[in-house]
């Protein structure tokens, strides 16, 4: 891909999405998430050759929220293997909301709803929460090629105070023997992972590594097992955007994952990783402007995989 052309198309997409600047609502069920400039917009794209282009509010760090579900899944698969992981979480999409308890039967329907990510968090190895979370931070630092990965303590505290729903999910999962160990500790790790602070550039670098089959963009080292990458991208493509995953796949056509902080990460295998940040969300919890920009560049840069 020619960088000059990419830059032009990205800028055009950002401009064409300006009319959506005031569309959608910022998530308020985690009170701290309202403490942002609602009109912020940032975007970055990283090619598998390791070149990054970034625009707008590219330096602002936001909580990655559900994008951490991708990291949880990768780490659970690396730590315990697919057989164990998929005995606890399934691989199918659901029309229920991301925080629903309904799609929990003998297993959780998929790893990208809250119940699924609480389950994969329980499969991240480590002695205590501190050690497990430090492993997660180390993984995010390695994948983003950046040491400047932060923990947004206010966001974490704000969610821990209000997260009755996730707390119920964790206890319910324990009662069904889907998770083992202490429900409070697993919930704690899950919420910490959601409160990791990154900017669009760092997330697009992570996307670049996934687009590169799990190999480092700097030295080609295998940072994530190849099969783990394939599984993760398949699931992102079918379940990454919640109840909108099917529609989104038609309109954008590459594996993506959203977070209620307002970011969307997208991966175009063999080509690039991309990330948008715009905190106003639709009713499913996906960034309104982010989706529009990704749909446009999918078309103009020919990124649709289908």
Binding residues (CB under 6 A) for ligand DON: these are 65-66, 98-99, 114, 159, 166, 194, 258-260, 285
Catalytic residue among 190, 249, 256, 293: 190
9 counts as catalytic: no
Residue 204 marked as a ligand binder: no
Per-residue exposure over 71-87, b if at least 16 CB sit within 10 Å of its own CB, e if not: bbbbbbbbbbeeeebee
Residue 260 marked as a ligand binder: yes
Q: Which of 179/223 has CB closer to ligand DON?
A: 179
- Shortest gap between Cβ of 94 and ligand DON (angstroms)? 13
242 counts as catalytic: yes
Residue 190 marked as a ligand binder: yes
190 counts as catalytic: yes
Residue 96 marked as a ligand binder: no
Catalytic residue among 17, 66, 258, 278: 66
Catalytic residue among 229, 260, 274, 293: 260
48 counts as catalytic: no
Residue 110 marked as a ligand binder: no
- Shortest gap between Cβ of 208 and ligand DON (angstroms)? 22
Catalytic residue among 156, 242, 248, 277: 242
Q: Which region, left, alpha or beta, applies to residue 131 given φ > 0 means left and ψ of -120 to 50 means alpha?
A: alpha
260 counts as catalytic: yes
Q: Which of 9/132 has CB closer to ligand DON?
A: 132
Residue 114 marked as a ligand binder: yes
Q: Which of 11/38 has CB closer to ligand DON?
A: 38
Q: Which of 7/184 has CB closer to ligand DON?
A: 184
Residue nearest to ligand DON (CB): 66
Q: Which of 116/269 has CB closer to ligand DON?
A: 116
Residues marked active site are found at 66, 69, 190, 242, 260
Task: Report the binding-site residues for substrate.
Answer: 66, 114, 159, 166, 190, 242, 260
């Amino acid at each position: 891909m020619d960088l000059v052309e990419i830059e032009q198309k990205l800028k055009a997409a950002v401009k064409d999405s300006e009319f959506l600047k005031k569309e959608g609502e910022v998530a308020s069920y985690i009170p701290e998430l309202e403490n942002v400039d609602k009109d912020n917009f940032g975007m970055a794209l990283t090619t598998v050759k390791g070149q990054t282009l970034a625009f707008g509010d590219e330096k602002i760090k936001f909580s990655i929220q559900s994008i951490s579900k991708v990291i949880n899944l990768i780490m659970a698969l690396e730590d315990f293997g697919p057989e164990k992981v998929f005995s606890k979480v399934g691989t199918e999409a659901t029309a229920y909301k991301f925080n629903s308890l309904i799609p929990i039967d003998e297993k959780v329907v998929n790893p990208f709803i809250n119940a699924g990510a609480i389950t994969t968090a329980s499969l991240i190895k480590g002695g205590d929460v501190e050690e497990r979370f430090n492993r997660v931070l180390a993984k995010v630092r390695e994948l983003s090629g950046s040491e400047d990965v932060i923990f947004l303590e206010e966001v974490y505290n704000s969610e821990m105070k209000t997260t009755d729903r996730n707390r119920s999910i964790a206890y319910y999962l324990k009662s069904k023997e889907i998770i083992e160990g202490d429900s409070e500790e697993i919930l704690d790790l899950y919420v910490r992972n959601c409160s990791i602070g990154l900017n669009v550039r760092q997330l697009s670098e992570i996307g670049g590594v996934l687009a590169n089959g799990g190999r480092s963009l700097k030295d080609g080292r295998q940072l994530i097992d190849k099969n783990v990458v394939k599984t993760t991208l398949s699931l992102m493509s079918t379940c990454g955007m919640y109840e909108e995953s099917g529609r989104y796949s038609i309109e954008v056509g590459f594996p993506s994952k959203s977070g209620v902080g307002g970011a969307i990460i997208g991966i175009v295998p063999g080509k690039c990783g991309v990330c948008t940040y715009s905190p106003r969300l639709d009713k499913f919890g996906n960034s309104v402007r982010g989706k529009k920009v990704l749909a446009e560049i999918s078309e103009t840069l020919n990124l649709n995989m289908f």
